[in-house]
Structure 1
Amino acid sequence: MGILEGLHNLNLSPPVALALFPVALTGLIITYYVSLAFYNIWFHPLRHYPGPVLNAATRLTWSFQVISGRSQFTLSKLHDKYGEVVRIGPNELSYTTSKVWKDIYQSRPGKPQFQKDPLHYQKHDKTPSLHVSSDADHTRMRRMIAHAFSDKALREQEPIMKQYSDTLIRRLHEVTASGEAINIKQWYQWTLFDLFGDLCFNQPFGCLEAGKSHPWIDIIGESIQAFYYLGLARRIPGLQSLMMKMIPKKKTEQAAWHSAFSKSLADKRMAMKTDRPDFMSFILKHNETEKALTVPEIRSNVNVLIPGGSETTSTFLTGTTWTLLQNPEKYKLLVDEIRSTFKDSDDIKISNTAGMDYLNAVINEGLRFYPPVPSNMPRVVPDEGAIVAGKFLPGGISVCVAPYPMARSFRNYKNPDSFVPERWLKDPDYADDDLSASQPFSFGPRNCIGKK
């Protein structure tokens, strides 16, 4: 029986019935959500998993924790309190045990894979990319794009990378000559954005020389924040369409400019005739097969590579630089190794840094201590269900590894909140560390294509 029909049967006058309608509707909505919370807490298949009651009752709790910008610190405390698995939402589990990397993210021959949670990941349009795509599309695209990240490509791209690292050092000398402090995060970000613009489009954005951001950097940064709000909206029926209508005109125009700008850069680069060893040259060179990337797919994937490479790498460099400065004894050890290995900066090559033990230990510890992508990477358990961390989970459950809580867990590392490169050098004091818990590039067939 509908609400209006029910009010009519009470023989109320039309004005009174209309006045009571919103009250009745509100009551029904409240009753629905209270009943749903009651079910989530007491009858849901995940009811026996530990975690805060409010998180079990409604997904809104975790959504607001994410929007706060401090969700990973909150989650780290929850894992410290509740253990290696925490129920962070009615239908979601977070893990900090290393074996779960394989359970969730590794290939499962003959079995369906754990797919990316569609409530967390969303394509900008219908074009697949490495970020969001089917298993078949992802395998096909990755095989083509991997040529741009091969050892051969890396060797040929090294002069381009050195050009930007040299420019960064020169500009840092210039802007610090007066003795004033600088924001190193900005300079790292500008360097990587220029570099990836050059590698993707054969066109740097001039940030390093100008000493200021390109508009695209700001739009990308704002879009990351908007991503979390839209993630919340997708979980509430009708709210996403309402939020899209409420977006200021300026933001809509920025999004349109972003799409048009990136498309024009990609099209311009694809039309070039050049042997320059950038990403696009390797992609186009190996793209003449039946499994080739379409033009829209190339555009979509370079849009992934720009923020995926520049934002994450600059974040890692910023965090590691800050941490080294907080640990001067570690900084000195690193400087001593570099200066005893090379007589001049021109001697530094990618190939002859592989054997630098302390440098590589600092990199690994920096990636553990300050993971560039600290947030959850949720996957959905296949319909048939699966074993995760030794327990069966029914299909449809969202599961994830949280890189930051994983890396800062006392169950995985001794002194997890201390920067200790020596743990990667087989220091006996850290022999019990579970180094495999740190997977900053993710794990399995959908891990970061830039991992080397």
Structure 2
Amino acid sequence: MSAAPNTMLLAAILGLLNHIYFHRHPPANATIPILVLIIQPAFLLLLLPPPSLSTVLLTYTTFLVSLILSITAYRLSPWHPLAHIPGPTINKVTKLWGAWVVAGGKQHLAWKRLHDKYGDFVRTGPNEISIVHFDAVKAILGTGGFPKGEYYDPRRDPTLASTSLLLLRGDAHASRRRIWNRGMSTEAINEYEIILERRVMQLMDRLDGFCGTAVDIAGWFGYFAFDFMGDMAFGGGFDMMRDGGDKKGLWELIANGARNIVIVSQTPWLSSLIIKLPAASRGYTRLRGFGATCAANRIKRGSETKDLWYHLTDEAGIEKTKPTHADVVSDGVLSVVAGSDTTAVALSCLVWFLLSHPDIYRRVQDEVGSVYPEGESTLDSSKHEELKLLAACLNETMRLQPPVLSNGTRQVPRGGGRVVAGRFIPEDTQIYIPPYSLHRNEAYFSDPEKFDPDRWLRPPTDDSEWKHNTGAFIPFSYGAANCVGKVLAWREMLMVASTLLRRYEMRFAQGDETARWTDGLRDYFVTSMKGPLMVEMGRR
């Protein structure tokens, strides 16, 4: 046997051995494995006399083909720990497919189709599954549930020692969450209501100027939400409603950053390598500069009220150890990004659903008029409990179009794996519980594709055919890591929606293609709106 065939055989064996090694010792990042994979075949070539170019190419090709075939065969084999979970072959082999789907913002729709085909458990990656079973919600997200998975790691800015609440785990999360809970307590929210009322009236004043013409209501909800969250987190300074748009390019910064990060999150072990690329790190740099500028302005300007910054910095001196300035900046940026997009999307979808169902629109208008008769202010949040139908409409909106469509992963802790909803899931498996698919599961909601607010008002019934399982409704997530701003978001949405409904008559703009507007929503962790929602408005 000549030297070259010997080298090819050794290259094939080396590829197999690399798979065995890295399977037992998964790399935390891609840098070292890639270097190793480049260097190893070079050492084999030293066994030969000065090799030809064709021999070099054949050696590397044999090595890589052996490695890829070994990985593929194992992931498709009955010996893989997730072999009992059904799913498309491409999902089992690679996450690159997932990255491609996510890049288009259609992950929620793709997974819904997979669950419709395969059932409650679907293998969405080589070491990843998606579950839409009610029992999994408490088991995974509830008390004693699973920690956050690898999906969140690429969201960490590698140039900073700080991190936001979204990325923290375990005791660190509990400690920071305690501070956030004070910032989102009823007492604190009552302080924020002064800011909220002012911004709601500014929104209405600006919308008054569009009466008789068509206006992109979704865009203005976005300006409003961004301004309010900026006021609350950093004492103001954005003023998109005043400017009539995003003059500073903040939306583009955040939207592009969200899209890029969610793509990288599909292959988190590659993130440390990708982030070294100038094009990829630019988003982190700009977002970091945005946060630093907002913080500096807040410190210089101060605030007339006890805003969220006041609580996050622990100005009251309650904590034994004060949060670092960098941590507070990270959390402030998180509040703006998470609080503005989600509220704007929910309000926009609410308007779309109501105008698409005129009978429900009239009913909810009548309810708002009865709760806030002529002469009474819709800014009075003490009457929000009386807005039963409007609350039901918001619930139904978030059931069909949750602000977070697919969520992030949780990871099965080490120690032998866990049984989830009757199925054994091995340790280190990444698990999604996607709200979009869960909320549309006919096992938990009758006629799940229909916009039916009355399902939330229907009294308990013995009808076994009727399904309305609110335990399978998680628009604000569930458990200790649920949305800390849920109460504030509800107050904000009810105040804006009730004021809007009392003040205006609305209809879709003439000739506007609105029938499929929700098809343009994009899943980039938080829902992103694509395209205007044009509405004609007139004062009532």
TM-score, normalization by structure 1: 0.90
What's the CA shift for 1:232?
4.0
Q: Aligned with 2:276: secondary structure?
A: helix
Q: Which amino acid aligns with 1:281?
A: Y
| RMSD of aligned Cα (Å) | 2.2
Q: Distance in 1 between matches of 2:482 and 2:44?
A: 55
Letter in 2 for 1:319: C
State whether residues 150 and 409 of structure 2, in contact with CA within 8 Å, keep that contact through their aligned partners in structure 1: no
Cα distance, 1:290–1:64 mapped onto 2, change above 3 Å? same
| Number of the residue aligned with 2:472 | 437
Please give the alpha-carbon distance, in whole angstroms, between the structure 1 residues aligned to 2:51 and 2:129: 49
| CA deviation profile, 1:231-288 (whole Å, cap 9, x unmatched) | 245344xx7525632517xx72x64343223213223424555551321233434344
What is the correspondence of 1:202-217 to structure 2 with a 5 Å cutoff?
Answer: 202-213=235-246, 214-217=248-251
Aligned partners of 1:84 and 1:95 also within 8 Å: yes
Map 1:298-337 onto structure 2 (within 5 A): 298-337=328-367
Give the whole-Å Cα distance in 2 for the aligned partners of 1:272 and 1:356. 37
Partner of 1:370: 401
- Residue equivalent to 2:190: 155
After TM superposition, list the pairs within 5 Å mapping 1:31-430 onto structure 2.
31-42=66-77, 43-108=79-144, 114-121=146-153, 122-124=155-157, 125-177=160-212, 179=213, 181-213=214-246, 214-236=248-270, 240-242=272-274, 244-245=276-277, 247=279, 252=282, 255-270=284-299, 274-283=303-312, 284-343=314-373, 344=375, 346-384=377-415, 385-426=417-458
Deviation for aligned residue 1:317: 1.0
Shift, 1:425, TM fit: 0.7
Gaps of 5+ in 2: 1-9, 11-39, 488-540
What is the aligned partner in structure 1 of residue 536 from structure 2? none
Runs of at least 5 residues in structure 1 that lack an aligned partner in the other structure: none
Q: Secondary structure at the match of 1:94?
A: strand
Whether the aligned pair in 1 keeps the contact of 2:235 and 2:302 (CA below 8 Å) is no
Instruction: Report the alpha carbon displacement of residue 370 of structure 1 after superposing the two structures with TM.
Output: 1.0
Change (3 A) 1:347 1:258: closer
Q: What is residue 528 of structure 2 aligned with on the other side?
A: none
Report the identity percentage.
Answer: 27
What CA distance in whole angstroms lies between the structure 2 residues aligned with 1:267 and 1:161?
A: 23
Separation in structure 2 between the aligned mates of residue 119 and residue 49 of structure 1, nearest angstrom: 20
2:483 is the alignment partner of 1:448: yes
Aligned in 2, Cα 1:157/1:4: closer, same or farther, shift over 3 Å?
Answer: closer
Letter in 1 for 2:233: C
Distance 1:56 1:335, change over 3 A: same
Question: Paired residue for 2:41?
Answer: 3
Aligned length: 438
Partner of 1:27: 62
Q: Report the CA distance between 1:9 and its aligned residue.
A: 5.0
Q: Matched residues in 2 for 1:357 and 1:189: separation?
A: 25
Relative to structure 1, is the Cα distance of residues 182 and 47 closer, same or farther in structure 2, using a 3 angstrom cutoff? same
CA contact (8 A) 2:142 2:479 kept: yes
**Residues 1:356 and 1:229: Cα distance change in structure 2 (over 3 Å):** closer
